[in-house]
Structure 1
Amino acid sequence: MPPLQYGEAKNANDASADDGFCSIIRKLPPTPAGTVRLFDRGEFFSAFGPDAYYVATHHYKTQTVIKKLGKISTSNPDGLPAVTLSHAVAQSFLRDALTTKQLRIELYESEGGKNSSKWRLGKSASPGNLGSVEELLFAHTDMLAAPVILALKLSVKEGVKTVGVAFADTSRQDMGVSEFVDNDLFSNTEALLIQLGVKEVLLTADEKNADYDLRKIRTLVERCNIVITDRKRSEFTAKDVEQDLNRLLRGDLQASTRPEFDLKSAMAATSALISYLGLMSDDSNFAAYSLVPHDLKQYMKLDASALRALNLMPDPTGMGGGGSKNMSVFGLLNRCKTSQGTRMLAQWLKQPLVNLHAIQQRQDLVECLYEDSELRDELTTSYLSKMPDFHRISKRFQKGVANLEDVVRVYQALLLLPGLITILENGGQANDKWPELIEETYLVKLREYSSALQPMREMVEETIDLDELDRHNFVIKPEFDETLGQLKERLEGVRDQLDDEHRTVAGDLDMETDNKVLHFEQHSLYGYCFRLTRKEGSAIKGKKAYIELKNTSQGVYFTTKALKALTDEYKDVTKEYERKQASLVKEVVGIAASYCPVLETLNNVLAHADVIASLATSALNAPIAYIKPTVTESGEGSLHLSEARHPCLEVMEGVNFIANDVKLERDVSEFQIITGPNMGGKSTFIRSAGVIALLAQIGAFVPCTTATVPIFDSILCRVGAGDSQLKGVSTFMAEMLETAAILKGATRNSLVIIDELGRGTSTYDGFGLAWAISEHLATETRASVLFASHFHELTALAQEIPHVQNLHVVAHVDSKPDSLTGKEITLLYKVEPGVCDQSFGIHVAELASFPTEVVKLAKRKADDLEDFSENPDAANTTATTLSPAAIAEGTALVEQFLNAWASVAPSSSVPAPAPTEGEDVEMANGEGEGDAEVERDYAALVKCFAEYKDRFEETEWTKKVLEQTY
């Protein structure tokens, strides 16, 4: 980390200046929520107040960097907290704040110099609107995530909710629109946000919080960890959008003739988007944007829960193991060599295909590079790794901020195209269909682009001095322009005269020109001048021909009238040369800008090849190589995975992953309930299936030995509570919101993954909900479902519905007398057909080193509440013959009975004597006293049972339980 600049800053400002600055800071309006404010102080940046603490805590990771400014007074009792950041540190902090932390930033600038008392907001940016700081933050760093911003307009007519959206990626100058009907939970809106990777959403301001539907959308957007920006309702009108689009869009087609213009809600959202981004105020945006419609149905639908449950993307908060890149599917697969490839891979993961032909085409390309190692290595090492981000450079061309270095970077990349075409023409010969596929996907386009860009190559060779590149000088050839050539000759003539003057002075002083005693150098203040060592400085004394400039510890600086005149002439000619070159550079950049459309399409082809190579490389480098899955049409075939593995978990150090088969057979076992011990592998099993299904639909290879995957129209998940409580949403409410979205959005061709539903409420309510939801999905929706549950009673559903199958994770149990539970559990992580007949929660607690007293108490209470049959089938007989309502009524009565007994049992009211120090816990209650206590408890139980016996006989479930007991 670069050193702090505080010491330098403090020296430059005295205490009175600090007091004045503190006064200025306090008079500014408060920093808005979710915003960090920095001040550009020239040589460094500063943050003050709460912003200083945020920078210190989240970036420097220490508060020792905080200084207190100003004199201590009534108005300033503790001083103003301040942190300073060098330019490099500020750029790093701002990049992280905008692209990872999802914060807004404000940069204040002085209106009149370093010590001015007037400060104004110079630049502001948000996660989806980086335009004003893009050059500051990404001039020398690739942008790895697209800053997509979306405006949303909701219209409700006769109860029908129509959502119109407009979205843009300003870094690529792409714009899109979509309009669709949505349900009460706005499931389609959520899927769209995930597909596009939206960073910021513009919504209509609702100061009174009176719009119920808008409030639901706001909650949904927040749940997706997306920044919300409120805009005035008047901005969401399509009044001027036609003329704005006519100026912004490429091509001659009028906006009103485009089919997208008929999407009225989407056009209203487009107007708000254009206004917020300020696109009309920048001439470089005119005729630069594309407009495309976005069809939700062209991709698999994913919800925010699926994104988290399947660990598709790195955790932006850094929580949940986000530190290792292999903890996310994106991090694991990302072997891309270019930033555009990295962005496209993220896009593919959020937009799995539903078109079988497109999926198979990607698969065949991955297979080609998977098998042809020579082509793969040469493509990635010799070509893709040397390709710049043409989108970023094109935008610099269009904005007029590019320089000759940008032009040369493009030129050097264009020189690689013929070789790239050659290796692709010679590759993939092992399979007859691969050359044709490579030709269609890459070669046709690359030849076209190479030919179209040939004039640009020639232009660069004619105008830029390529011989100077080795010295990192980017200059125009002097012979390219007659005036520039004349100025170059004048400069060289002045340099020759300077050398002559050096030799003349050396001869007069009887010294050599080897710069050992008489130094000839260019000074920042005096220009060209001479310097003698202090020892030889007396050589010029008394000589009128020499003009002494400065006497320092480094020596005596002096000049001559002739040298002074030559220095002035050299400066004048140099300025004239630079002005002329700058005008020529502007012309060259302008010509280069005309090739932007071709460069951007070339960029897409290279990004596609990069992602394909990345998928092939990651498939080969896995602990066990991935295989090419067989993908079938939606609604046809079943999900069959042999020895399926979770791609992220199998690469973790110290993990010996146990593979499992997955067989979701349509109409036979399409709904599977998985039970078993905690930590036994239920969650991993169901998530592995979800990840593999998604990988298959992006065209990737999958971690199995064989795989057949039908095309799913959506993957919907209910797994874990995440950080809902941090947002004021209870665990149970989060469960219900996500489950409601599944019930509304799931179809016959969806894959639904549910893990431990019902944990957020009481056992009886949780079981009732789990049963009802499962029954609805299994009978009404008929989706493919993997349901991991701790409710063993739920397995009774298989007796009522033919296509419900029970699976369980296997645990091996041995007798262990010295264990508090009397058993030793070994988790085998294998999934097999059938029902797990008991829970191993107490055994797992013992493995986790729970306190002995806690484990003993849990065992005693478990023995009180459960009596598992030796025959697992018999234990489930009662549950399989009664309705969920009858079971719930019976279990509630039993709970009431146990509470009544506990209230009168002596052991519940008389605490056991505490063990003395060093005394064994089991010896704390003497054997005699323990026996007496059991007798008293038993007597209380008999009495309580007699009081409840009639009610047990009248309740269907408890009656059957008693019949099996007698």
Structure 2
Amino acid sequence: MEVSQTVSRQEPVLHLDTNARRNFIKFYTKLGEKPSTTVRFFDRTDCYTVHGSDDCELVAKIVYKSTAFVHDLLPDDKQQSLQFVALSKSNFELAVRELLLVRNLRVEVYVRHNDWELEYRGSPGNLLQFEDILFANREVLVGNSIMSLQVKLGNGAQRSVGVTAVEQNDCTFQMLEFIDDDFFTELEATVVLLGPKECLLPSADGEYLAVKTLLERNGVMVTVPKKGSAAERKDLVQDLNKLVRFAKGQQEDASGMKELQMLLASEALRVAIKYLDLVNDAGNLGHYELKLLDLKRFVHLDSAAVAALNIIPKPGIHPTSPSYRWQSILGVLDHCCTAQGHRLMSQWVKQPLRSQEILNDRHNIVGCLLESPDTLDTLHLDYMKRIPDILMLTKRLMRRKATLQDLFRIYQVMLRTPQILKVLLSLENSTVQSVICDPFKSNLEDLSGLKQMVEQVVDFDAIETGEYLVKASFDDQLKELKANMSDLYEKMERLQSKCQKELNFDSKQQVKLENVAKLGYHFRITLKDDSVLRKNKNYRIVDVIKGGVRFTSDKLQGYADDFVKYRQQYEEQQQSIVAEIIQVAVGYSAPLTSLNNELAQLDCLCSFAVAARSAPTPYVRPTLLPPGSGKLLLKDVRHPCLELQEHVDFIANSVDFEKDKCNMYIITGPNMGGKSTYIRSVGTAVLMAHVGAFVPCTEATISMVDSILGRVGASDNIIKGLSTFMVEMIETSGIIRTATDQSLVIIDELGRGTSTYEGCGIAWSIAEHLAKETKCFTLFATHFHEITELAESLSTVKNSHMAAVADDKNFTLLYQVRPGVMEKSFGIQVARLANFPEHVVQHAEMVYNEFEDEHADKQNEADKALLAKIEVAIEQLSTAGNNTEINTEDLTQLVTQFAQDIKQLDSDYFKAVISTGKAK
């Protein structure tokens, strides 16, 4: 999420005398060390400061883009020196947004009362105290989830894992327990699925060290909260009784909930509730829903696959950024117009489904929208763009922070939804009717009471003038104040007519009566009429803007002042009424949340249709087959991100897997030849189909998969102390343990992080295991040409290569997948393409030829020894053929040994003879 805001370079002045600076340094020193993941701010009323070299440098670069704004509190006293950066309120808010939402760091704010005290604390998963700063007048485009974990050792290498995820935007608790291996394979899939910003652990050491490493590898902040007392550990049911939204007629007692039978997950839930302090926020009471999370509903994704397929954009890329569209699958598919749509789309791409029924519904709706382009444009461009973030408005209601303006915005949604419903019904599609229209109708029925209340209470005439007021008919005093205000307004209108005449304006020249917050009621004329106004001493100019000259008179000023006084009295009088209205509106939070979710779903489905239609070559609907059908056909598959980039003319390729005929492609070819792009394209298309989107192919038939696993492009992970080879082994071991015959596996360049022979051995072993034992759909790109020999012993393994054409002077990559093995790697030709100095390339060719000649000499010596052996074998066979007493078994053994010896000869002639014999 990118933070875009105009940054003020004006640095505030820190008003502290020398003594105050010394006292603060003493206090700051007493605070002691803090975690590197925490940034501390100090509220000094007129500005904010941050201290310490690391924090100062970080914040100065975020706000001012320069460390020149880092100063010393006591520049003349090196012994007591303490660096600081001073920030205005707006720049403080900018820094907090960046630190919490982009950098995933903690923020603490100290405020001085008698002494400095920690007043506000926030973290990536706990944004409550900073919501007004983070989301005031801004769309919330990201989810706000936090995970809590408990792990218990089981038998052998097994671990029992209890997980609770808290989604504060949606007010949901999701719980699950499972048995995991010592590599925490299932836990990693859960982390990928939920995408938490932060995770609560009982400890960061011992058994939890491996969990901490896994979480950090997936970009999740780890927090170890303080352990609660024995009494606190027993009050989970009491907390849930306050937080959970019980159904009508349901006994409001959480102790009987089946979810609480999961003891580890329940303890994780208790820790999360205490850490987030949910019970002490009145806006949370009675609004949370407890759910069981079923991992089997979703396609298993490991973190390597998420990275390999570029599912989500890199941190800091905002949806409005030009590069957002082609940097990830989320960017390709996310054409949503609403904040709730953006959030749901992010969730969908991380949670591909295994339900053929739900996916068929999504595909049906997307196809229906594509068949009705005018309807799609009406929904996407007209209606969805005018839908506010209902979830955030509902949260303001629940926290009693909502205003009449917020209530009116909700009312506008209730007016627009029937219009959306009418457009959808015109499609006359049964799936659209059942999946979208019916829930809309139900929500509108549930919200009819709220709609009627708003119509009875809100003064719609006042809204036209930019004011949000309660109807005067609600209260006698309001009636009196409203009459006074109306009387004053009529008097100001009469003054307007009088001014028109005094300035000798005709009907084309207008004196306008306007109301601006800082100026109150005033007149305005165009700039070209300025000279006429200056000649009249009855009026005085108060402001000059592009839109004209603002001016007033003594009489108008008096009326305007009186109007403001009555208006303030009116607002004070209506406050209690507004509070009662908001209290009633809170009771509609459940149907409002449901309506929000339905609109988000519609926005995502429209987005899928827009993505399919706007691609350089339109996407097609995939045909989904039941799990285990053993078919994966993608004709002319393209990579959706690459084809969106400028100056890219994508060359499409195909893949055709079929159970018991072909379950593995071993792909060879030169560097830069397109191997990685090809296998990623296949993985991406399968993922998109399981999300409910159309796919970048000309034809797609896909058996439902249970997991998409990847090992593509590993690199050193210096921060975690892991080498390239170790990262490869961790990722690949996860694939071997997880893959089934219903999985899709993509592997690229496995085994390159160690010696050639070891790497080849490991790659061969893994490829053979996947092809022979697991029998999953596998795309295996490699530079180890020896592995292509697997196709000789396993009929379900096929060789293919990325085509290239080369001669002495030219080298052309064709980016086409063709059957068979690529005999050369063309590394030297690629070096030429990369503009290596010619003398370096020539030296490489010379060394290569020397090694090749040396290998040929060794091969010739081996061939001579084999030939001698073969001559003996021929003589034995000849003798045996004339010997009528030799038994058949001995003769067969001699023939078999002779054939094996022949195969070891590096001779094109013998190879041709053998292949001809096989053909016959």
State TM-score, norm by structure 2. Answer: 0.83
Query: Which secondary structure state, in structure 1, belongs to the residue aligned with residue 719 of structure 2?
Result: helix
Instruction: Name the structure 2 match of 1:415.
Output: 415
Instruction: Name the structure 1 match of 2:212.
Output: 218
Contact 2:801 2:822 in 1 (8 A): yes
Residue 617 of structure 1 is aligned with which of 585, 610, 613?
A: 610
Contact 1:4 1:84 in 2 (8 A): no
Q: 1:464 deviation in Å?
A: 1.5
| Structure 1 residues 178 and 618, CA gap change in structure 2 (3 angstroms) | same
Superposed, which structure 2 residues align to 1:552-631 within 5 Å?
A: 576-631=569-624
Contact 1:53 1:81 in 2 (8 A): no
Contact 1:363 1:700 in 2 (8 A): yes
Instruction: Name the structure 2 match of 1:855.
Output: 841
Contact 2:244 2:289 in 1 (8 A): yes
Instruction: Name the structure 1 match of 2:154.
Output: 157
Instruction: Name the structure 2 match of 1:398.
Output: 398
Instruction: Name the structure 1 match of 2:883.
Output: none
Q: 1:468 deviation in Å?
A: 2.0
Q: 1:96 deviation in Å?
A: 2.6
Instruction: Name the structure 2 match of 1:830.
Output: 816
In the aligned structure 2, how far is the partner of 1:707 from the partner of 1:729? 39
Q: 1:962 deviation in Å?
A: 8.0
Query: Is the counterpart of residue 101 in structure 1 residue 103 in structure 2?
Result: yes
Instruction: Name the structure 1 match of 2:918.
Output: none
Superposed, which structure 2 residues align to 1:656-675 within 5 Å?
A: 656-675=649-668
Superposed, which structure 2 residues align to 1:77-226 within 5 Å?
A: 77=81, 80-87=83-90, 89-111=91-113, 118-159=115-156, 160-206=158-204, 209-211=205-207, 214-226=208-220
Query: Is the counterpart of residue 39 in structure 1 residue 42 in structure 2?
Result: yes
Q: 1:119 deviation in Å?
A: 2.3
| Structure 1 residues 245 and 524, CA gap change in structure 2 (3 angstroms) | closer
Residue segments in structure 1 that go unaligned for 5+ positions in a row: 113-117, 430-434, 515-520, 529-534, 540-556, 817-823, 882-955
Q: 1:270 deviation in Å?
A: 0.7
Query: Which secondary structure state, in structure 2, belongs to the residue aligned with residue 331 of structure 1?
Result: helix
| Structure 1 residues 480 and 188, CA gap change in structure 2 (3 angstroms) | same
In the aligned structure 2, how far is the partner of 1:102 from the partner of 1:578? 41
In the aligned structure 1, how far is the partner of 2:824 from the partner of 2:672? 14
Instruction: Name the structure 2 match of 1:952.
Output: none
Residue segments in structure 2 that go unaligned for 5+ positions in a row: 506-514, 523-533, 539-551, 867-899, 911-920
| Structure 1 residues 729 and 459, CA gap change in structure 2 (3 angstroms) | same
Contact 2:806 2:812 in 1 (8 A): yes
In the aligned structure 2, how far is the partner of 1:622 from the partner of 1:803? 34
Query: Is the counterpart of residue 370 in structure 1 residue 405 in structure 2?
Result: no
Q: 1:471 deviation in Å?
A: 2.8
Instruction: Name the structure 1 match of 2:269.
Output: 270
Q: 1:526 deviation in Å?
A: 15
Query: Which secondary structure state, in structure 2, belongs to the residue aligned with residue 175 of structure 1?
Result: strand
Residue 474 of structure 2 is aligned with which of 474, 477, 480?
A: 480
Query: Which secondary structure state, in structure 1, belongs to the residue aligned with residue 634 of structure 2?
Result: strand
In the aligned structure 2, how far is the partner of 1:305 from the partner of 1:579? 58
Query: Is the counterpart of residue 426 in structure 1 residue 430 in structure 2?
Result: no
In the aligned structure 2, how far is the partner of 1:323 from the partner of 1:62? 25
Contact 1:462 1:480 in 2 (8 A): no
Instruction: Name the structure 2 match of 1:239.
Output: 234
Instruction: Name the structure 2 match of 1:922.
Output: none
Contact 2:459 2:470 in 1 (8 A): yes
Q: 1:367 deviation in Å?
A: 0.4
| Structure 1 residues 780 and 526, CA gap change in structure 2 (3 angstroms) | closer
Q: 1:41 deviation in Å?
A: 3.4
In the aligned structure 2, how far is the partner of 1:732 from the partner of 1:187? 19
Instruction: Please provide the CA RMSD for this pair.
Output: 3.8
Contact 2:636 2:654 in 1 (8 A): yes
Q: 1:323 deviation in Å?
A: 4.6
| Structure 1 residues 324 and 170, CA gap change in structure 2 (3 angstroms) | closer
Contact 1:104 1:125 in 2 (8 A): yes
Deviates more, 1:261-270 or 1:229-238: 229-238
Query: Which secondary structure state, in structure 2, belongs to the residue aligned with residue 145 of structure 1?
Result: coil
Superposed, which structure 2 residues align to 1:291-306 within 5 Å?
A: 291-306=290-305
In the aligned structure 1, how far is the partner of 2:902 from the partner of 2:34? 63
Instruction: Name the structure 2 match of 1:316.
Output: 315
| Structure 1 residues 13 and 781, CA gap change in structure 2 (3 angstroms) | same
| Structure 1 residues 584 and 867, CA gap change in structure 2 (3 angstroms) | farther
| Structure 1 residues 523 and 416, CA gap change in structure 2 (3 angstroms) | closer
| Structure 1 residues 165 and 865, CA gap change in structure 2 (3 angstroms) | same
Superposed, which structure 2 residues align to 1:745-760 within 5 Å?
A: 745-760=738-753
In the aligned structure 2, how far is the partner of 1:368 from the partner of 1:526? 52
What are the Cα deviations for residues 305-353 of structure 1, in whole angstroms up to 9, with x where unaligned?
A: 111100010011669x995431111011110010111111111111111
| Structure 1 residues 746 and 496, CA gap change in structure 2 (3 angstroms) | closer
Q: 1:30 deviation in Å?
A: 3.6
Query: Which secondary structure state, in structure 1, belongs to the residue aligned with residue 67 of structure 2?
Result: coil
What are the Cα deviations for residues 140-187 of structure 1, in whole angstroms up to 9, with x where unaligned?
A: 111111111110111123233111111111122111101111122111
What are the Cα deviations for residues 684-736 of structure 1, in whole angstroms up to 9, with x where unaligned?
A: 01000000000111111101111111111000111122562233211111111
Q: 1:525 deviation in Å?
A: 14
In the aligned structure 1, how far is the partner of 2:423 from the partner of 2:225? 52
| Structure 1 residues 233 and 106, CA gap change in structure 2 (3 angstroms) | closer
In the aligned structure 2, how far is the partner of 1:663 from the partner of 1:523? 67
Query: Is the counterpart of residue 805 in structure 1 residue 831 in structure 2?
Result: no
What are the Cα deviations for residues 97-146 of structure 1, in whole angstroms up to 9, with x where unaligned?
A: 2222211111222326xxxxx32222111111111111221021111111
Deviates more, 1:342-351 or 1:854-863: 854-863
| Structure 1 residues 359 and 14, CA gap change in structure 2 (3 angstroms) | same
| Structure 1 residues 467 and 781, CA gap change in structure 2 (3 angstroms) | same
In the aligned structure 1, how far is the partner of 2:260 from the partner of 2:485? 59
In the aligned structure 2, how far is the partner of 1:855 from the partner of 1:312? 38
Which residue type is aligned with residue 347 of structure 1?
Answer: Q
Instruction: Name the structure 2 match of 1:460.
Output: 454
| Structure 1 residues 222 and 398, CA gap change in structure 2 (3 angstroms) | same
Deviates more, 1:281-290 or 1:446-455: 446-455
In the aligned structure 1, how far is the partner of 2:518 from the partner of 2:339? 40
Instruction: Name the structure 2 match of 1:54.
Output: 58
Which residue type is aligned with residue 731 of structure 1?
Answer: T
In the aligned structure 2, how far is the partner of 1:736 from the partner of 1:410? 53
Residue 732 of structure 2 is aligned with which of 728, 739, 754?
A: 739
In the aligned structure 2, how far is the partner of 1:589 from the partner of 1:287? 16
Q: 1:651 deviation in Å?
A: 1.1
Contact 2:12 2:86 in 1 (8 A): no
Aligned positions, number: 822
Query: Which secondary structure state, in structure 2, belongs to the residue aligned with residue 366 of structure 1?
Result: helix
Query: Which secondary structure state, in structure 2, belongs to the residue aligned with residue 407 of structure 1?
Result: helix
| Structure 1 residues 143 and 853, CA gap change in structure 2 (3 angstroms) | same
Residue 762 of structure 2 is aligned with which of 749, 752, 769?
A: 769
In the aligned structure 1, how far is the partner of 2:131 from the partner of 2:361? 36
Instruction: Name the structure 2 match of 1:331.
Output: 331
Q: 1:268 deviation in Å?
A: 1.0
Query: Which secondary structure state, in structure 1, belongs to the residue aligned with residue 464 of structure 2?
Result: helix
Deviates more, 1:146-155 or 1:484-493: 484-493
| Structure 1 residues 571 and 858, CA gap change in structure 2 (3 angstroms) | closer
Deviates more, 1:603-612 or 1:58-67: 58-67
